[in-house]
Each structure stands twice: as C-alpha cells, then as structure tokens.
Amino acid sequence: MDSPARTITAAQLVDGVAHFASPGVGATTADPVLIVDLDGADETLAAVAASRVATLDQLVIGRSSQPIPPSLGPLVAELDLTYAPSAHACAAPETTVDRAIVSVTDVDAALIEFVKAAALNPQAALIAGQVLRISETLPIPRAIDVESLAYSTLQGGTEFRRWLEARRTLGRPLPPPPAADPVLLERDDRTLRITLNRPERRNAYGTAVRDALVEALQVALVDDTVAKVVLSGAGPCFCAGGDLDEFGHAPDHATAHFIRTRGGAARAMARLAHRMRVDLHGQCVGAGIEIPAFAHRVVAMPDTVFRLPEVSMGLIPGAGGTVSVPRRIGRWRALHLFVTGAALDASRALDWGLVDEVTTSQP
C-alpha cells in the first residue's frame, strides 16, 4: 500500500516506535493518524501492543487485508477503529471485536479517505476520538457534558472559524420564524405522538424546533400516564440536522454549553428512552440521528440515509451524538462516521444496530 499516513507493525508499536510523532502547529500532531498494519502480526504481542495504544496522541487505526484471528482481539478492541475486507465482516455487532471493525470493499481506499478527512480538520478529528474514549463508560448525563465542553472548545478553534467564515460569505440571513407550530403534539390514549413540523427547513434542529421538542418531551417526563412516546418528522425527511444559518450566533461559548446540555433534547430523550420510539425517513443528518439514537426503539424507512458531518465543519456532534451513537454501534464505527462524514444507508444501519428495524410502513 502507498500509505496515506505513517504505518507501523504491531511489533513496532510494542517497541515504542510510535512515540516519535512530531508535533505540528498549535501542538496538534502533524500527522493525526497512525496506521497499525495487522497483517502477519505476532499474536503473542497483542495484549502488550494494546496497552501501548492509550499512550499515543494520534488516532490509531488498524489495517487488515486478511481475516483477523481472535488472538488479536485485545489489540483490535483498543485501537480507534480497524478497516478490514467485507468478506471478513461479521454483520452482527454482538462482540467488541466485531463492532471495532469497519468492513469495506477496498481497505486502502478507506484508509486514504479517513486520513484525508482527518488531515483537513485534525483538531476536530482528534478531539472526536478523545471524547469517544473518555465518555465510553460515563453515565449519560456526564458524557453529554463532556461532549458539549469539547464542542465549545472547538467553537473557539481555527477549523470551525474557517468553516464559519466560508459560510458567512454566502450572506445567508438568520432563518425566519416558523410559519406554524414547529412541533406538533397528539395524545392517543396513553401514547404521546410528537412530530417535528418545520418541513420548509427540512425539520432542521434550530432554536425553534429544539425548544419546542424539549417542551414536548417534558410533557412525558412529568406525566406518568404516558406509556409510550412516538417521535417522527413531517415532510421529506425526519431532520436535516442543525440549522446551519444559526451557527455562530450564540452569545458566548459558555452560554452555548449550558443551552446544549440543559436546554437540549439529549438528556430528556435519555430519560425517556425506555418509552421512546422514533420513526425515521429520508435524510437524517447530525442531530437527525444523534437525538433518535437515545431511544429504546428506532425504526427507519428504506430510503433513510444517515450522516454525521460535524468534523468537516471543525466540530464534533453536539446534540448528544458522541453519547447516543457509540452506545448503539460502538465508538469505533462512530469515529468512522464522524471523521469521514460517510453516508450510511438503512440496511447497513440495521446491520450495525444504529436502527432496530427497517420497514416500508411506519407502525
């Protein structure tokens, strides 16, 4: 392979070769990604090699062109993710090693795509990996706080500023007030139906939709007679993610942190998870999957497509996605989606466990 990033073997990882990465501008490593070639790895070194990964400051990505033996499981589980051939893939995500592997038709092409994306926004990519590791075992409320603090840090960074300046050159104004109620409520016996209702903005998770959704979820939180909550979206898609025309308009980063964590929907969704079903269709971008992923049951139409593009904007998911998504598919596949911004169709989302059912007719 004509490597897109520095590549070492598992034996070199054990020997400490990986610690000679050079710092770049602003103390960000010049090469944010380190590749560990697992082909022909000495299986007796797996545990020791795994213990070395946590000491590194890069995203450590495994590469395998062959079936990965179970004895390499400890190393694969410790890496940030591993790309392996589709023929090797195990569709069921029951084990840690399965969830740590992203199966692809062309391993080297996938590595090139990941490395290029990380190089464009290395701070966001590295912080995404750090947050996923830190919050992996935290209680959900604390993990949401970690995500938001990291998000606020990136809001003050050069990568987001570059994206925001490019966006502002388009001269787009703040979105107009909603023409109708941005969220609809309907009570059917013990079922509360909540519908995102701003189709003219593709149900973007802007201030109006966010506040109305949180208010709707509060109804179920305070009313124990609500046995089931069903969340869906009106129009051509469930939710196209954050309203980009509102980005950069918070009064300051600290206030934005408290709005995201205490005024956002993530905490309420997590508290209601055992009563929640979310029906998805069309484009589900950013918050359009971050919020649904908290629910106990997520149902998708066959046309549903998922994307998490925040790293390309110099950010990380900020609506709870670093918490909800990895709890469904594992931190490894979550990092793949975050850094590459790759689209995930409904079928693969089902295989990975991001959704629980794909149906042609919503229940």
Tens digits of per-residue pLDDT, 244-268?
A: 777 766 778 898 898 888 889 999 9
Alpha-carbon distance 31 to 23, whole Å? 8
Alpha-carbon distance 363 to 360, whole Å? 9
Alpha-carbon distance 346 to 344, whole Å? 7
Alpha-carbon distance 232 to 362, whole Å? 10
Q: What CATH topology corresponds to 139-358?
A: 2-enoyl-CoA Hydratase; Chain A, domain 1 (3.90.226)
Alpha-carbon distance 284 to 202, whole Å? 10
The closest of 190, 195, 210, 217 to 319, measured between CA atoms, is 210
3-state secondary structure of 359: coil
Higher pLDDT, 362 or 102: 102
Q: Where are the domains of the chain?
A: 6-120, 139-358
Q: Is pLDDT of 4 > 60? A: yes
Cβ neighbours of residue 188 under 8 Å, at least 6 residues apart? none
- pTM above threshold 0.85: yes
| pLDDT (tens digit per residue) in 38-92 | 999 998 999 999 999 999 999 999 999 998 989 999 999 999 999 999 754 444 4
The closest of 182, 273, 259 to 220, measured between CA atoms, is 273
